[in-house]
Structure 1
Amino acid sequence: MSAELSEEEMRQALFGTSKQTDSETPVKTTAPVEIPKTELQSRLARRPKPLSPKLRVTLHVTREFEGPVEVLIYDANTLSTLSAELEAKADAKRRKFKYIDVLSVLPIQS
């Protein structure tokens, strides 16, 4: 067997013989279709937005011990309840609340 094969022989060995070669395949060209701008805008408006996972954390927060309680709602972009709770507590501390009580962590649709 010869050590040097031509490109055509290699193609036949790998892929077998075909009825049409690349040079015989017909090339079909079409003119681009123009879409009116109003139709294009309506198509873009109808496209559904991708759903991102969100959790809603509800907190009771106060600035002083046994003071007036406020309800703080924080939406976290995560599926981890622990990280959502930590983010909500950090947000409450940023807003100068000293006493924080987590009420619930529930998933929501965005």
Structure 2
Amino acid sequence: MNPDLTEEEMRSALFGDTEPSPTGAEPPEQESVPQVVFVKLAPPVAKKKVAKAFTPRLQVTLRVGNEFEGKTFELIHEADTLSKLLAEQEAVKAAKKKYRYVEVVSVKSM
């Protein structure tokens, strides 16, 4: 390295030419922005309702009441399951919300 360099030479070595280039003085050309075109969408097509598939149902008949060995009522509960045990449990759970004594009479398929 040469110690006899002037400040101007050091600046030009570090930062390049200090004179502005002619292309830098001109504003850069802006690229043309494509025009936005709005297209009207077609109205949504109404979906056809699919026929409901067969759902297995069980009918659970219960004898319910609020008095021990008192007046009872027959209650019918429909369950959407094939399992008789699950249908029975579901029916008893629903009946226990309103009645104190619940007895299962029958479980039939519909």
TM-score normalized by structure 2?
Answer: 0.53
Determine which structure has greater relative contact order: mean sequence separation of CA pairs < 8 Å that are 6+ residues apart, divided by chain length. Answer: 1
CA-CA distance at 1:48 after TM superposition: 3.9
Secondary structure of 1:103's aligned partner: strand
RMSD: 1.8
TM-score normalized by structure 1?
Answer: 0.53
Q: Is 1:104 matched with 2:110?
A: no
**Map of 1:13-28 to 2, 5 A cutoff?**
none
Whichever residue aligns with residue 94 of structure 1, its letter is: K
Q: Is 1:84 matched with 2:83?
A: no
Following the alignment from structure 2 to structure 1, what is the Cα–Cα distance between the partners of residues 79 and 56? 8
In the alignment, what sits opposite 2:53?
Answer: 50
Among the aligned pairs, what percent are the same residue? 44
Following the alignment from structure 2 to structure 1, what is the Cα–Cα distance between the partners of residues 83 and 52? 22
CA-CA distance at 1:98 after TM superposition: 1.3
Q: Is 1:68 matched with 2:85?
A: no
Following the alignment from structure 1 to structure 2, what is the Cα–Cα distance between the partners of residues 50 and 63? 39
Bigger CA radius of gyration: 2
Runs of 5+ unmatched residues, structure 1? 1-39
Following the alignment from structure 1 to structure 2, what is the Cα–Cα distance between the partners of residues 65 and 49? 43
**Where in structure 1 do 4 or more consecutive aligned residues deviate above 4 Å?**
none
| 1:47-86 residue CA offsets vs partner (Å, 9 max, x unmatched) | 6431101111000011011111101111111100001000
Whichever residue aligns with residue 107 of structure 2, its letter is: V
- The structure richer in helix per residue is 1
